[in-house]
Amino acid sequence: MIAIIDLGTGNLRSVEKALHQLGYPAQVTTHTPTVLKADAVILPGVGAFAKAMAALQQEGLAQAIEMTVNAGKPFMGICLGLQLLFEVSEEFGEVKGLGLLRGRVKRLSGAAFAAPAPQPQSPAAAWDPVPANFGRAQPSEPSTPAEPRLKVPHIGWNSIRIVKLHPALAGIPQDSMFYFVHSYAVVPEADGYTCATTDYGIEFTSAVGWGKVFACQFHPEKSGRAGLRVLDNFARMAYPQGPLEPPGAIAQTIR
């Protein structure tokens, strides 16, 4: 089972629905023993960094996440779930994060977001495409935000530039479009974990990964074909044989 940690903030059921459509068992939970027993763990979230950290600590989930990562189980952070992996956020003063990665979370503005720029690599091939009509309705024509007047929060479709291969990005073409909703972004202290960057006036880290850990600033559960593929890629790190149940009607063609 894939445990989806409930921070009481947004997109939980969308992630659960996507995994069920793909044929993987998933459960939204705040129960620490359930998280520890899970085959894989996802931490999605939107909203305030401090409130999310308080919830993780109160439920004992911060330690459960660290134990999951140290045990080598697949772990995925989405949006706020990416930011929480870092040492500190500057949202409403300095707030300590989980500290699994060195770096800070800063407001999405200014030159501080110059992200490491290793040479891009071509993603490895993956399975069949995901139906274009999967998931919630989104703006009909995804497009990169136009300069020079960029607004914060960064809301809408934007492309990612893959700079390091990771299993969660298998089969994702360079410059694929994903859906973003955020006002803050991560600034890693080292470039070794950055898997993808995105340009929004400045270039920021939009995905990180190492081993079986993957975290992204964008929302795969709201990103149609590409997003569903990322979730399927992640689930296959826990279930290499593929889905444990027949996929839902919308996800049939991914097989």
Q: Looking at the annotation, which residues are catalytic?
A: 79, 219, 221
Helices assigned H by DSSP within the chain: 12-22, 32-37, 49-58, 61-70, 80-83, 224-238
Instruction: In whole angstroms, give the CA distance from residue 85 to residue 104.
Output: 10
Q: For residue 180, give the nearest of 148, 114, 227, 212 by alpha carbon.
A: 227
What one-character DSSP code corresponds to residue 232? H
Q: Are strands 161-162 and 194-200 parallel, antiparallel or unpaired?
A: antiparallel
Q: How far is CA 64 from CA 13, 47, 109, in A?
A: 21, 21, 33
Instruction: In whole angstroms, give the CA distance from residue 105 to residue 82.
Output: 10
3-state SS assignment for residue 202: strand
